[in-house]
Structure formats: structure tokens, C-alpha cells
Structure 1
Amino acid sequence: MAKPWILGLTGGIGSGKSAVAQCFVDRGVHLVDADHAARWVVEPGKPALAKIVEHFGPQVLQADGHLDRTVLRTLIFDNPEQRRWLETLLHPLIGQEITNYLAQAQSPYAILVSPLLIESGQYKLTQRVLVVDAPEALQLQRTMQRDNSSAEQVQAIFQAQASREERLRHADDVLLNDSDLSHIAAEVERLHTFYLTLRGGQP
């Protein structure tokens, strides 16, 4: 069997990445979520967590020994130097974790879902990029409803992510998600059928 090629799946916050990803999983496609990999590498007992505690102090730990992400976020939010230190530690480990999981794929192609696929350079692990796109007003509305957050909070996340134009520039395929779930399912079915005809992600 040919080695599966890798599809990168990304989109801005509230674009509907998770719904699209689930549709691919329902069709038997092996999927790795970069957010999950980012959590695995800092589980209790993992070397990365020990290094983070050594660097930032025990305040970054919850009582049960897990990483307190809220505290860590506060410590690096306004401190580019500390953020870079953390990224230098974690990005290679996350990349390794992702590669290990993708290597287990049994489907003709596998998917790497990452909100920061472009920004983190993870798109270099993929042969093709699918961007889930949605009008910004709709992204804003969905995220506010889902996370119970204010427009200002969502706008701040928009600022931290790659711009819509930047993402679309990297896209081989775009799925416009401005309708309902049946529309997503039909689009995924169309793309999936097309992807099964590809070798190495290219026609």
C-alpha cells in the first residue's frame, strides 16, 4: 500500500474546522489534531512539563500536577521573549508527536488539523492544504456563541491568527462554510472523492 499523503486542514476561529474534520473522520480518514498533540507533550511525566516548571516556577502547575494553561498564557501573553522560549521548546516536540501519529495512518490520505497550520510552519508537513473559510462576521458570531466571549476577545484572537488572505494564499482547496451541516457534508464528500484519486496530494 502506498504511504498516505498528508492533507493540512486549517481555518480561522469559528470557521467550522471541527465540523469539517468530523465529516472526514466519518469517512474513515485518519486524523491528527495539532491542538491535541500540543496537550500530549505537556502531560504530567513528560520532559517538556518539567522544563516549563523549571523555567517559570511551580505556579504554572495545577494542584493535580497538570499544566495550568491560564497561568502560562498570562505569563507569556505580553512577553515575546518568554513566548519564543516556550515555542522553541514545544514546536519540535509537537511536530514529532504529529509525525508519529500521522505515520500510523491506514487510510489513503491522512489529515493534520491545525488552527495555526500556516503560522507555525506545520503546513510543511503536508502535501496539500484545505482551508475552511467563512465570512468574518459569521466567524465572530459563531465564536461568541460557542465560547460565550465578547466581540473584543474574539477580535484579539483574529489578530493573533494569520489573516484570511494569508491562509487563502496557502490553500490548494477552499471549503466555504457559510451554510449548514448538510452543505459541509456534501462539500466534504466531493473533496474526499477527489482526494482518493490523488497520488501524493497532487493530481
Structure 2
Amino acid sequence: MARGFGDIVAPIAGRTGAVAVYPGSLVQPSGPPLVGITRIDPINVSFTLPERELGALQAAFATGPVTVTAHFDPPGQPALEGRLSFIDNSVDSASGTIRVKASFANPDGRLWPGMFVKVSLSPRTLGGALTVPAQAVQTGPEQKFLYAIGEDGKVKAVPVRVLLVQDGIALVEGAGVVAGMRVVLEGAQNLRPDSEVKEGGNETGNEPGQAKKKKDKS
């Protein structure tokens, strides 16, 4: 028999898993695989993102490489940077997410097939953006707004447009929104424009930064 018929050449470079056959085993083309080969370097990491991020992700992907960072447990280990390589062609209607993949150079094998890692990416950067706690954003009959606290302790409604909400922080823009502006966090449902407020302190039992409606003395 020609030796070429007895050699099996791996179609890809990678690491072999457990061998499923032994000397004397019967092997057939329709039988189970002899051995599995997994590519280690480079390696892909698959994860999902909310569908609301799809537009920004596609725009960033079309203009250049999108950096994806893998974070390891326990914390304190150096993170690993890769590049977004794939966006799925449909959204999972059950979860409202879309599957994406990132490719990582992995010469030292820190990433391993089947392991779980935390990933982060920034598909867009908004320069000069202003943020407020998400709970400060109120919903009116026509638009969203903040209750801003003036120097006289009275509030006024400042219309805003919410660009993004993440991890309890809202990214907002509006003509009347300025950096350092004090806003009402709690008790806004009891306020009206020109209501007088005071910041909650230890003497009231409120957390610092909370705003409550000030009662008029008679």
C-alpha cells in the first residue's frame, strides 16, 4: 500500500484533543472523528451585544478596526486586546441581542477554548459629553428633562436628549445643560418649576446629594 494512503494531514494548525481511537480500532469515513484539532493562535471570542448598539457598532466596524479587550479572573491580570472580526446577520428576537466575534493573538495560550472571559469595547467616542445619574432624568409629556437647582435653591426644568444609558449613568445633551450643574436625584415627582429644595444631609437622614422639596413655613 502506498504510504500516502496511510498518512493523515491536519487541515489547520492547532492543538489536538483526546485521541478517540487506538491501535487495532476500526476506522471508517462515516465513523466518529479520530481526533479534534482546535486553533489556539489566533483565537476567536464570541459574545453578544444589545441590539440598540448595532448601529454604532456597524458604523465603527465600517470605518476601521474596533478594539475589543478581554479581562481575566481573578482581577489584576493583564488584559488582552483583540479586534472585532464578525457581526452576525440577524438579531436574536428572543433576547434582543446580536452575536459578534473578536479575534485575539494568543501566542502564550492565555485564552483557551471554552473558557469564559469578560469583554469590553468602545464602538464610539463622544467628546465633551455630559453625564448625570440616570435617575435624574425625568419624563415629561413631550420630552425628557432634568430638574436643575439654581443658586437660590429653586428648581427649573431643563430639556435634555438622552444619547445613551449605561451602568446607571445617562449621557445627555441640551442647550441648558452645563458641567457642574446640580440636579435633583430623588423626590422629583413632588416638584414643580420654581419649587424650593435643599440637599439632604445627615440631619435629615437622607443620603448626600438627594434633593427634597422644602416645606414653606407659616
TM-score by length of 1: 0.26
Larger radius of gyration: 2
Higher helix share: 1
Q: Which has the higher contact order (CA 8 A, sep 6+)?
A: 1
Higher strand share: 2
TM-score by length of 2: 0.24
